[in-house]
Structure formats: C-alpha cells, structure tokens
Structure 1
Amino acid sequence: MVPQSGGAVVGVKRIMISLPESLLKEVDGLASLEKRNRSEFIREAMKLYIAERKRRGMREQMKKGYQEMASINLSLAMENYEVENEAQKYYEKQLAEC
C-alpha cells in the first residue's frame, strides 16, 4: 500500500463500521500502545483474524482426513485379519513339522 499525497493509501477502500463504544476504546488504547493509527490497527487485526480462520479450517480438514484414513486402515486390517491368521497357522504348522 503506497500513500498518496493526501495521506490516503492506494488500493484501499474507505468503509464505515459501527462498534460499541467500549470496543472502540479498547482498539484506540491498543493502537496507541503500538503507535499505530486506528485504521492500521484494525487492518492488522482483520488480517490476523482471517489467517487464524484459515488455519482453523486447515486443521479441521486435516482432522477429517486423518479420521477417514483411520477408518480405511481399520477396514483393511479387518479384511486381512483372517488371511494373516491362516498364514500364521500355516507357518506354525510348518515349524512343528521340522
């Protein structure tokens, strides 16, 4: 974002929002502590919020994927259990004959 001569930032849209007075006081207090103006503070807060939402969404997708894979792995294990049991019995029988 590049400031223009009038202090406006290129590529930025001016909007109007409504906030409870108590929230606005908190925002102004924190912005002051960080030596930022209100707009800078709110822009950064919005970016952080959006990034956190994306991270949460990604974690949920990963969790769902892991759960689906666990279900698939359990199904495969159950399908192969009987075959592995038979192979084990055959192996033990062969050992007993030696």
Structure 2
Amino acid sequence: MPGVKRIMISLPESLLAEVDGLATLERRNRSEFIREAMKLYITERKRRNIREQMKRGYQEMASINLALAVENYDVENEAQRYYDDRLAECK
C-alpha cells in the first residue's frame, strides 16, 4: 500500500485480545482493523468538535437575539399604542 508507514504501538493484552477477536469476526487483519478504528475515531472527534462549535454559536446567537428582542420591545409597544390611538380617533 503506497504511502503507508509502519508504526509500533503498545496495547494492554486484554485490549489486543479484544481487537484480535473483532478483527477475526470481521475477517480483517490487525492493521486493517486498527486503521478503520482510527479513521472512525477521527471522524467522530471532528463531528463532536463541529457540534461544540455549533452549540457555542447558537448560545451566542441566543444572547444576541434576546438583546434585540428586549431592545425592540419598547419600539413595538410604542407602535402599537400609536396604532391604537389612531384607531380610537376613527370611532
């Protein structure tokens, strides 16, 4: 496989036994299994980071939206009072 680098990792025996068992069930060798597990881990980590960024963004927008709502509340009430006064004059 081009562009592949061989590395050495240390695993507890119990984890290695579990990896070997799952790799056997999936008819893969250790390298294939660990390569796939690492890809899945990286993908999930990226997904979590994006969710956290979105969560922070939504929280920031909530603060901004609340400030805008508070700011516009008086303006909307004033407009409603003006409308009600004009409507009362028509009666």
Displacement of 1:96: 1.0
The corresponding residue for 2:62 is: 70
Moved over 3 A (4+): none
How far did residue 10 of structure 1 move? 1.6
Q: Does 1 or 2 have the higher relative contact order (CA < 8 Å, sep 6+)?
A: 2
Unaligned runs of 5+ residues in structure 2 are none
- What is the identity, as a one-letter code, of the residue corresponding to 1:80? N
Q: What percent of counterpart residues are identical?
A: 82
Counting only pairs closer than 5 Å after superposition, residues 72-87 of structure 1 correspond to structure 2 as 72-87=64-79
Q: TM-score scaled by structure 2?
A: 0.96
TM-score by length of 1: 0.89
Higher helix share: 2
Alignment match of 1:28 (pick from 17, 20, 23): 20
Give structure 1 stretches of 5+ with no counterpart. 1-8
Offset of residue 41 of structure 1: 0.1
Match of 2:36 in 1: 44
Output the aligned Cα RMSD. 0.6
User: What residue number does 1:16 align with?
Assistant: 8
**Residue number in structure 2 paired with 1:4:** none
